[in-house]
Amino acid sequence: MNQPAKTGPNRYRPLSQVANWNLETDVAIVGFGGAGACAAIEAADAGAEVVIFEAASASGGSTALSSAEIYMGGNGGTRVQQACGFNDQTEDMVTYMMMAAGPQADEAKIRNYCEQSTAHFNWLVSMGVPFRDSYHAERAIMCLTDDCLLYTGNEKAWPFASQAKPCPRGHNLQVEGDNGGPLLMKILTENVECRDNITVEYEVRALTLIADETGTVHGLVVRRDGKELNVRARGGVILCAGGFAMNEDMLRKYAPMLCAGNTPIGNPGDTGSGIEMGISVGAAAINMHEGFISLPYYPPASMTFGILVNDKGQRFINEDVYHGRLGAFALRQQSERLYFILTVEQYGDYEQVSYLGAEVAGTGETIAELESELGLRTGSLAHTLSIYNSDCERGEDREHHKAAEWLQALEPPLVALDVTPGRGAFVPFFTLGGLDTLPAGEVLTPRREIIPGLYAAGRTACGVVRRAEGYSSGMSVGDATFSGRMAGKQAAARIT
Ligand SMILES: Cc1cc2nc3c(=O)[nH]c(=O)nc-3n(C[C@H](O)[C@H](O)[C@H](O)COP(=O)(O)OP(=O)(O)OC[C@H]3O[C@@H](n4cnc5c(N)ncnc54)[C@H](O)[C@@H]3O)c2cc1C
């Protein structure tokens, strides 16, 4: 006997099978993280009635787990950039973000993001998000003080700096410690709660979309208290359900390279259900093979003076890049082992402050001793070091273009850390693929036709950030909050 098909994200419910609506609203939002919150606020402020469905018992998602560095600039600079003496031109930001996204770049989306970036900063401030007018000069993955502005990507590194004038665009919230994400979500949640035309349904999971035979989306099915409810969304459904870092089947199917990482970072809801719902009604899921993956090798910033070599003792990257770019390059190496080589002074307080957790693989009073401990071919590391050290003396890295400020000859005694993915070092990752959307959030088919009534934002959509090798911290929360706002406005415009 045939069992009725279980309601799940892979199979939409045909409108013809909906006998009655259990709930009706103008805009239905799936997920109450950064994207969902901003979508709700904008849709509500445009006059729409909004319901957010959140599977967890509280708002937050990965946004609340994050550092909430937010990538903003251009247009002469945000208030903070200007106060700190940085004049950031939109074209420099566009060029940088286009290089960052590489061949997968969506220029329309990047331009829209950059052109409206300072306005987005002002909007966040109007919501009550605090940013101090201060600059954090130290090279860091995250700012642990309440300072605001810092370099969070590859802006100062080759090849980016040679084409786009470097400018810091990472904006850290005014809060001590790594507490930006919780504060951002607290403020956005308060803004949601104080709007009478937004209802939040916690512990209610969105199961699937409701669509007609033409492909138009009319609503969704949710599960509340064990019962399935048909929800009509007159303006549309906005999918803000995060990515798929927690879904092993989807990772293996779409992004097997990421499985080289050992720690998916995100929240338990990152199962890709929003992406699957979109696919079920004919949406294109793009860039699904890409993700953020990293070898977080600094702090201490002094690690940047070291060099990264493969099992032939050869360098393959300028080591002053962002940790995600270094991670992406590391994964591509055809090499049994990867080592970070440092002097004892550069190793410094690595054991106290590092997130990397890579073990010492060898030490050497001489280069030959280190080669022998690491099992490298005799003379291979010595050759690399002789070229590198002579370039350090010249103040110009002719091989890999590491900036002069990070060039310091490597003289024994030397230390080598084993940073081979899969051998103990912390290799965090999350996904960057998602539903193809227009800059305003409309979800597209593979032929780039709009699916009426369906929008996506944040990690569920494929946004401005497309690959680890061009990732900058802040591009995800920046994209989630900005694209959420765009989609909220657009869905509301359909009914108001
Ligand atoms: C530790 C960490 C640090 C980070 N630091 C930064 C940083 O500093 N800067 C930066 O730009 N990025 C950072 N990121 C990445 C960034 O936080 C996320 O990519 C971004 O916040 C995602 O926002 P979102 O709104 O798309 O999804 P989320 O904030 O994850 O929200 C999705 C919500 O949808 C809910 N949901 C999922 N499925 C369903 C369903 N079927 N029904 C109902 N609800 C559902 C989830 O429970 C969740 O609440 C970091 C990530 C992590 C994990």
- Closest approach atom of ligand 1 to CA 37: 25
36, containing H or E segment: helix 34-45
338-349 pLDDT per residue, tens: 999 999 999 989
Question: Residue whose CA is closest, atom 35 of ligand 1?
Answer: 31
Rounded to 5°, the CA angle 419-434-16 comes to 150
- Measure the CA–CA gap between 240 and 487, rounded to whole angstroms: 10
Answer yes or no: pTM beyond 0.95: yes
Q: Using CA atoms, how far apart are residues 112 and 449, in angstroms rounded to an integer?
A: 20
* Average pLDDT of every residue of the chain: 97
C-alpha 273/C-alpha 283 separation (Å) is 13
**Measured in angstroms, how far is the CA atom of residue 247 from the centroid of ligand 1?**
14
Alpha-carbon distance of 36 to 484, in angstroms, equals 6
d(CA 469, CA 113): 20
**Residue 416 · residue 358 · CB < 8 Å:** no
pLDDT value of position 5: 77
State how beta strands 198-202 and 50-54 pair. Answer: parallel
Q: Is any atom of ligand 1 closer than 6 Å to the C-beta of 355?
A: no
For ligand 1, say whether the CB of 240 is within 6 Å of any of its atoms.
Answer: yes
- How far does residue 267's CA lie from ligand 1's centre (Å)? 7
Positions of E strands within 337-398:
339-343, 360-364
- Measured by CA distance, the residue closest to atom 15 of ligand 1 is 476
Which phi-psi region, left, alpha or beta, contains residue 53 (left: φ > 0; alpha: ψ -120 to 50)?
beta
What pLDDT, on a 0 to 100 scale, did the predictor assign at position 425?
95
Question: What CA–CA distances, in Å, run from 444 to 200, 253, 347, 357?
Answer: 27, 22, 49, 42
Q: Which atom of ligand 1 is nearest to the CA of 36?
A: 25
φ/ψ of residue 171, rounded to 5? -110, 115
Task: Note the pLDDT tens digit of each residue in 434-487.
Answer: 999 999 999 999 999 999 999 999 999 999 999 999 999 999 999 999 999 999
> Which one of 10, 29, 42, 66 would you pick to mutate in the ligand 1 pocket, going by the greatest count of ligand atoms within 8 A of its CB?
66
**Region for residue 242 given its phi and psi (left: phi exceeds 0; alpha: psi -120 to 50; beta: otherwise):** left
Segment 151-202, tens digit of pLDDT: 999 999 999 999 999 999 999 999 999 999 999 999 999 999 999 999 999 9
Q: How far is the CA of 465 from the centre of ligand 1 (A)?
A: 14
Instruction: Read off the pLDDT of residues 92-132 as tens digits, 9 standing for 90 and up.
Output: 999 999 999 999 999 999 999 999 999 999 999 999 999 99
Distance 451 CA to ligand 1 centre (A): 24
> For a pLDDT cut of 70, what percent of the chain falls above it?
99
Q: How far is the CA of 64 from the centre of ligand 1 (A)?
A: 7
Q: Quick check: CB of 32 below 6 Å from ligand 1?
A: yes
Measured from the CB, is residue 292 less than 6 Å from ligand 1?
no
Taking CA atoms only, the protein residue closest to ligand 1 atom 1 is 66
Q: Is the per-residue pLDDT at 4 higher than 70?
A: no
- Nearest alpha carbon, ligand 1 atom 39: 241
Per cent of the chain over pLDDT 90 is 97
Q: How far is the CA of 421 from the centre of ligand 1 (A)?
A: 25
Question: What is the Å distance from ligand 1's center to 183 Cα?
Answer: 14
Please, what are the domains in the chain?
Answer: 13-65+181-292+428-493 (3.50.50.60), 70-177 (no CATH), 301-418 (3.90.700.10)
The kind and range of the H/E element at 93 are: helix 90-101
User: Is any atom of ligand 1 closer than 6 Å to the C-beta of 230?
Assistant: no
Ligand 1 contact via 244 beta carbon (within 6 Å) = no
**pLDDT of 2 over the 70 cut:** no
Rounded mean pLDDT, 235-262: 97
Cβ of 481 closer than 6 Å to ligand 1, yes or no, is no
Q: Which of 38, 41, 62, 188 to mutate to test the pocket of ligand 1 (most atoms within 8 A of CB)?
A: 62
Enumerate helices (H) and strands (E) in the chain, giving the number of each.
16, 21
Task: Judge if the beta carbon of residue 294 lies within 6 A of ligand 1.
Answer: no
Task: Report CA(289)–ligand 1 centroid distance (Å).
Answer: 19
Using pLDDT thresholds of 50, 70 and 90, give the confidence band for residue 275.
very high
Residue 480's pLDDT is 98
Ligand 1 and 239: CB distance under 6 A: no
> What pLDDT, on the 0 to 100 scale, is given for residue 496?
67
pLDDT higher than threshold 70 for residue 266: yes
The amino acid at residue 344 is V
